[in-house]
Amino acid sequence: MKDKAPKKVLCVDLGAVLIEFDGSPVEQLIKKEKRKRFTEQVIPRHDKDELHLWYLYKELVSGYFEEFVTFEKFVQAYASCIVKTHRPMFEALFQLRKENRARLVCTTDNNHFAFAQLALKCPEIFQLFKEGNGYQFVISYILHALKIDGSPFTRAGSEFGFAPSEGAVVDDRDYNLEAAVKVGFDKSACFLYKQGNKLNQKQFKKFLEKNFPKK
């Protein structure tokens, strides 16, 4: 049986993959009994652009905060959640592009505020996804859809010119990888990334070698 053709495109997640993200500064402001609802129901609405930053704050003020929090304090806490670029992933992707082994497309569940913060704190990541004068990003707040429903992966292919069979995916959420498989990506070309896990990092290197072999 012949080996499958090498992949051409790697779809890359941001949070907990290429970016080190710590949600505790905001989480600490939220009542313990409301935290699950906040992460599972409120934030997805924010990432789909159903709640802009000011309205997100207004909703939290209405019953989520442990005590009254000013808008300024909330924004400062929110901004501090984005820590820095995750160097092991950045360096692996940088080398991949340098050797012309893959095109990179960012597929992220993200919102206006957090995405803009990336340009301030992690500007180097934008160069990974730059082609010509444009950038290859598929962002949930623009599509009004999260990766779990599969449409961002479909949009990535149609907008940047590749078939699912030509693409691979790296993400930190298994349900996002399952969604990618449902829209046509090979299961063997989907990698569950565990930031900070040295064994996982070695496995990811092998994943890249298999799917994007050196020419």
Distance between CA atoms of 140 and 50, rounded to whole angstroms?
11
Domain extents in the chain: 9-20+84-211, 24-80
pLDDT of residue 215: 78
Superfamily of domain 9-20+84-211: HAD superfamily/HAD-like (3.40.50.1000)
Query: CA 87: distance to chain centroid?
Result: 15
Closest CA to 207 of 180, 179, 188, 186: 188
Residues of the chain with pLDDT under 70: 1-4
DSSP 154-178: HHHHHHHT--GGGEEEEES-HHHHH
Element at 35 (helix H, strand E)? helix 35-37
Q: How far apart are the first and last CA of the chain?
A: 22
pLDDT of residue 2: 42
Closest CA to 156 of 174, 16, 147: 147
**Do the beta carbons of residue 126 and residue 119 sit within 8 Å?**
yes
**Do the beta carbons of residue 35 and residue 23 sit within 8 Å?**
no
pLDDT of residue 3: 47
pLDDT of residue 1: 34
Reported as a single tens digit per residue, the pLDDT across 166-192 is: 999 999 999 999 999 999 999 999 999
